[in-house]
Structure 1
Amino acid sequence: MGIIVSLPGGGGGGTDLQLNFGKQIEVRDSFLPPEWYPQSGIQLTWPHEETDWAYMLDEVRECFINIANEITKREKLLIVAPEPEDVKKQLEGKINIDNVIFMQSETNDTWARDHGAITMMDGNSPALLDFTFNGWGLKFASDQDNLITRRGIKQSLLKGRYENRLGFVLEGGSIESDGIGTVLTTSECLLSPNRNGQKNQVEIEEYLRSVLHLERVLWLDYGYLAGDDTDSHIDTLARFCSSKVIAYVKCTDESDVHYEALSKMEEQLKTFKTIAGKPYQLLALPMADKIVVDGERLPATYANFLIMNGAVLCPTYAQPENDQKAIEVLKEAFPDREIIGVDCRALIKQHGSLHCVTMQYPIGVL
């Protein structure tokens, strides 16, 4: 005798958990939810005159407004800004303002993925883990961005148990969770000497396993994008779409500077196994055509998509063939979610994309 409980699964599918009466089963009390876990909302940290966006503010604001519009059609949006009233004026008549929560805070920049809280779930209750963001290895100022999570909790805008993890440097864009105990990351980022250089790989893995309640860490040793400031964040290269599916960037142009590294990345991904011991289903995203501004190649990537309640936002780069191919791959990965393209050419001018400027919060946080 037993009952079947349907749990949220990747790609919008469900995972059935059978509970058999009279038999002992293991229940995970605390876990790192995957991005497809039901969300209470998403954070955007708004661009303003004191950020690196100052020289192209109108252009980047248009991109942020487009992202905000898609979010507020489906869930709550937390906008962090030094001058919320100014942002409200920018948004008048353009988005569903009833779904917006404004938070006043000074900010250095706009990369919410990396300065936002990383949320664990303790049963049905969220725990907000506040790691240090140090500007991707001391490359940029981050003193104000590092205070956003604590300010959000103090203002009662972020709900959940606060967990101080400021002794460890960790960015949300550097880890991918499958929701059942696996984290995918890159060795180039997490082993960067300017992040947690006092720890070796074994010590870092032990720390992550303990704090994030993991069964294992999969280390990706290859792959990078020219122009990337993050030291190869995993969300620029390979992403979990479910506990069995990984979408990754594939380079087919042998003359491209990325070809060798991304080919080695693909071969390593083929060696990875699910917790059940089976190979992952690998879905190849196209490599964006080269985009160069002022002599510098920009890190355009289709892996920087955002999974939402009922939808996936896919970055596009005014490359019709590649954009459409990326959307088709994500349709295969997420068959019951709407796939929406958002032009992110503005974002890559500051070396990030759509996923980098957003941070999702599971149910119970907003």
Structure 2
Amino acid sequence: MGWRMPSETAAHERTWMAFPREGITLGDTDAEREEGYATWTAVTAAVARFEPVSIVVDPTETARARRMLPGEVTIIEAPVDEFWMRDHGPTFVVDDERPGVLGAVDWIFNGWGAPDWAEWQNSAEHARIVAAEVGAELISSTMVNEGGGIHVDGEGTVLLTQTVQLDPRRNPYADRARIEAEMARTLGATHAVWLSQGLTRDYDDLGTNGHVDIVATITSPGRLLLHDQRAASHPDHAVTAKLRAELEGQTDAAGRRFEIVSLPAPETLTDAHGPVDWSYVNHLVVNGGVIACGFGEERADAQARAILAEAYPGREVVTVDARGLFARGGGIHCITQQQPAVTR
């Protein structure tokens, strides 16, 4: 089989999501829970402006989902515990030698390294449920991985992070060669670009240990957007400078040196729990648009929209307040997963 993960900029059939359910991620108070429901709903509505959305909903939340979500959204009932679809759901691929065939990679999901607080057993089944729903060929992997831990250009390049795929809580016996071989088998990635780490906050208890989709993304072959923390007092100032130096010395699968475009961080540096990891890199590209994270900062949000509009010509950039997502450990890209269009 010649599986290949298309670039996120390729045409989509739809976007997949999971609706929140009560538990540690949603929050302990009524206000926290309502914020979570409202934020997931706002992202769903924004994506649905551009392309169909299917969302997996726990039966205990079906009535709320039908009340809150846009009517055109397709609801699939199944047990849910975590609701970060990018990470626990399938990663979709195509086979260029078999037009019309869709594949769905089923990574092993263990709640970002099996922390004590995580509940993931229900959502770990979603890749198989979704694959069956869309008639995709299931590609089982023995590697623990999440969709937020990879970015591809659709032409053989994959971005990875040493502290994610080589995390001993995920893949204790893996080395780079084994990870890269699995990326080639499942995604058609022939060239891996390794980052040494992710953002500082992402190593907290509720973090992913360095997901790349909050740090860098490939907007077109040979061109990267990189999170840029410009405040010297923030620990990610040194981190992003280090990552830039690492990327400047690497090439993509075609041998091109990367053009690196800075995407400045918002001005807010801390919250009640310490330095924030608010990042505009964690956006979703959709058909004809880009769903961008907003942080209630008019100037910074507008600057990010302008950079994203230049990076993705001809697409409308729409900002959705993502503070309710980042407070729970992720962003817009983390709760969505694109299904590429194939000719049936």
- Equivalent residues of 2:191, 2:252 under 8 A apart: no
Which structure has the greater CA radius of gyration?
A: 1
Aligned partner (choices 326, 329, 332) of residue 354 of structure 1: 332
Q: CA deviation at 1:354?
A: 0.8
Q: CA deviation at 1:219?
A: 0.5
Q: Distance in 2 between matches of 1:253 and 1:59?
A: 29
Partner of 2:234: 256
Q: Distance in 2 between matches of 1:331 and 1:150?
A: 35
- Equivalent residues of 1:82, 1:104 under 8 A apart: yes
Aligned partner (choices 129, 151, 164) of residue 151 of structure 1: 129
Partner of 2:170: 195
The structure-2 alpha-carbon separation of the partners of 1:308 and 1:364, relative to structure 1 and needing over 3 Å to count, comes to same
Aligned partner (choices 201, 211, 218) of residue 233 of structure 1: 211
Q: Distance in 1 between matches of 2:329 and 2:320?
A: 16
TM-score (norm 2): 0.91
What is the DSSP-based 3-state SS (H/G/I as helix, E as strand, rest coil) of the residue aligned with 1:138? coil
The structure-2 alpha-carbon separation of the partners of 1:29 and 1:191, relative to structure 1 and needing over 3 Å to count, comes to closer
Counting matched residue pairs gives 331
Partner of 1:64: 40
- Equivalent residues of 1:160, 1:364 under 8 A apart: no
Aligned partner (choices 278, 295, 300) of residue 317 of structure 1: 295
Aligned partner (choices 86, 103, 116) of residue 113 of structure 1: 86
- 1:36 correspondence with 2:9: yes
Q: CA deviation at 1:326?
A: 1.1
1:91-126 deviation digits (Å, cap 9, x = unpaired): 3xxx3x23x211111111211110110111012311
Aligned partner (choices 144, 160, 164) of residue 140 of structure 2: 164
- Equivalent residues of 1:222, 1:262 under 8 A apart: no
- 1:131 correspondence with 2:107: yes
Q: CA deviation at 1:86?
A: 3.0
Partner of 2:220: 242
Q: CA deviation at 1:75?
A: 1.2
Q: Which runs of 4+ in 1 moved over 4 A?
A: none
Which AA in structure 1 matches 2:193?
L
Partner of 1:23: none
Which AA in structure 2 matches 1:214?
A
Q: CA deviation at 1:268?
A: 1.3
1:134-153 deviation digits (Å, cap 9, x = unpaired): 11111222100101122234
TM-score (norm 1): 0.85
Q: CA deviation at 1:42?
A: 0.8
Unaligned runs of 5+ in 1: 1-27
Q: CA deviation at 1:226?
A: 1.6
Which AA in structure 2 matches 1:209?
A
Q: Distance in 2 between matches of 1:46 and 1:62?
A: 11
Partner of 1:286: 264
Q: CA deviation at 1:130?
A: 0.7
Aligned partner (choices 150, 155, 175) of residue 180 of structure 1: 155
1:252-308 deviation digits (Å, cap 9, x = unpaired): 222221121210101111112233333222110012233544333332111100010
